Chain A
Amino acid sequence: MAGRALAAIVSAGLSRFGKLEGFYAREIFAQAVKEALERCPNLDPKRDIKSIFVGHMMESTEHQGHTGPLVADWVGLNPAPAVRLESACASSGLALRFGIQAIMAGLADVVLVGGVEKQTHLATDDATEYLAMSADNFFEQWHGFTFPALFALMARAHMNEYKTRGEHLAMVAVKNHRNGAKNPKAHIQREITLEQAMASRIVASPLRLYDCSLISDGASCLILTEPGLAKRYTDNPVYIMGTGQASDTIGLYERSDFTSLRATVLAAREAYEMAGINPEDVDVAEVHDCFTIAEIMHYEDLGFCGKGEGGSFVESGATEIGGSVPVNTSGGLKAKGHPVGATGTAQAYEIYLQLTGQAERRQVQGAEVGLTHNLGGHGSTAVVHVYRSSG
């Protein structure tokens, strides 16, 4: 790997994902931070943590704003500067990127980045309306487009253009549920069959219930340091080698191609170049499977397989644990759950476990290079990070 480390992850924390009855955003975030602090006894949080970046999409669902200082207060880190970042489902992927930037700028040497979302107190249709706000309200939602429908439009186009079938979509769900069944923090820890997935009810054709990720509560966080400081806090840091981010049109309709997400392609290119790697160097990846078709498109856009080959790629078993590039070992958004603001750093949490050999029953043997891919909305934002183990 040719690049130099941008920052190091010295600890990470994750709340349980799922319906966390009676717990709200600040309390759920505190659960993730508690784990990160317990993993890192050499860290004195009040002395060492210089800045906080928290991703959070739907703060208005609690009629609560000002999430930055709110979480700083509730995790005992006042008066450290704290800010909430919003970029729909990519909010904490962005928190990670901004934490890295603060370290690289020399403004802070130890940073807490993370994300949180509380959704299960909402009625399902209210939650999905909030999620749809990441699209073009005046031209998409106003005409009855739901968020699943926008990905369904991509699925239809992909199936029309290539040999992608409903069965391929179901294979993504089956794989991610198989992984989620091995993750004690996953929202749904249960395997499903291909038949179950393919017989589930249609949400927005061709997408069925099992093609959709979950509405979950949860929080995640990482403690980042300037690379040279990492060994002060842990013998086993994970280094961040590349970061990339790109934007695309807020309306899906304004794009010339519905079978690929340009923001992903561009963000990945930036992150790969910075890290000095190629897609085939990635040993383990967490990608944004908000819908099964999305995971198939990400395989292609991240360069794990050729254009149009995503369906046969999942069918080949390449993305299973034990395959050439295991994808979503955590269970992904599909089974681990998708508390939107928490998802980006939850992906990094899984890669941290994998690259430090702590992923237990879902460990990818010998994993040294990891990748996370976090998407905002229907691809108006994409953030990609590349990681390397210290081993």
Chain B
Amino acid sequence: MEETASDRNSGEVYPTIENFYKFCGQGRLMAAKCDRCGRLFVPPRVLCPDCYSSNFKWLQLSGRGKLQTYSTIHVAPKAFAAQAPYVVGIVRLEDGVNLPGRVVLGKGQEAKIGMDLVVDFESPPVGGWPRWPRYLFKPA
């Protein structure tokens, strides 16, 4: 599904990080595609670092990809202490862009380079800044 910024009845949706996370809140992983050179960006950019265009189209991604590398974090920051140990990794999406995120595995499942993953979404955190709903990855 492809839509332009002006297709949205809420007005123009700028290719900002905050808007990217707002889409996550709707269960959609969205990329910004440069109108001029066609490069795809996740996270979106407001200025294409390749051709300097500032015109982008939002494009919904399948959220499917393969795990490139990962780590199991045992010493966690405060906000994630309750989840430790947890796995983070970098995922190569089938659209050819990389995205970092947590990899949430089921009981008995182990992280493996090359494993197939698919994106999922959490509800937004309560309080503090920012309050962006996080995406995460789980086995496909």
Contact = CB atoms under 8 A, between A and B. Distances in A.
Interface string A201-240: 1111111000000000000000000000000000000000
Interface string A226-266: 00000000000000000000000001111000100000000
Contact of B100 (A154, A205, A206, A253): A253
A142 B68 contact: no
Contacts of B43: 138-139
Interface residues of A, number: 34
Interface size class of B (residues with CB under 8 A): 20 to 34
B74 A253 contact: no
A205 B112 CA distance: 13
A144 interface: yes
B102 A253 contact: no
A382 interface: no
Contacts of B83: 144
A253 B71 contact: no
A152 B74 contact: no
B68 A204 contact: no
Interface in B85-123: 86, 88-90, 98-102, 113
Interface in B56-84: 68-80, 83
Interface string A125-164: 1001100100000111111111011001111110010000
Could you tell me the dominant secondary structure of chain A's interface residues?
Answer: helix
B86 A144 contact: yes
A251 B71 contact: no
Contacts of B89: 153
A286 to B, nearest CB: 27
Interface string B32-72: 00000000000100000000000000000000000011111
Contact of B69 (A125, A143, A156): A156
A130 to B, nearest CB: 11
Contacts of A155: 71
A201 B75 CA distance: 10
B113 A125 contact: no
A253 B70 CA distance: 11
Interface of B: 17, 43, 68-80, 83, 86, 88-90, 98-102, 113, 130, 132, 134, 136
- A-B pairs, 3 with minimum CB distance: A152-B71, A144-B80, A253-B100
20 contacts: A139-B43, A143-B88, A143-B100, A143-B134, A146-B77, A148-B75, A149-B71, A149-B88, A152-B71, A153-B90, A154-B69, A157-B69, A160-B69, A201-B74, A202-B72, A204-B71, A204-B73, A204-B74, A206-B71, A251-B100
Given A149-B71, A153-B88, A258-B68, 8 more contacts: A128-B75, A128-B77, A143-B102, A144-B88, A203-B73, A204-B74, A252-B100, A253-B90
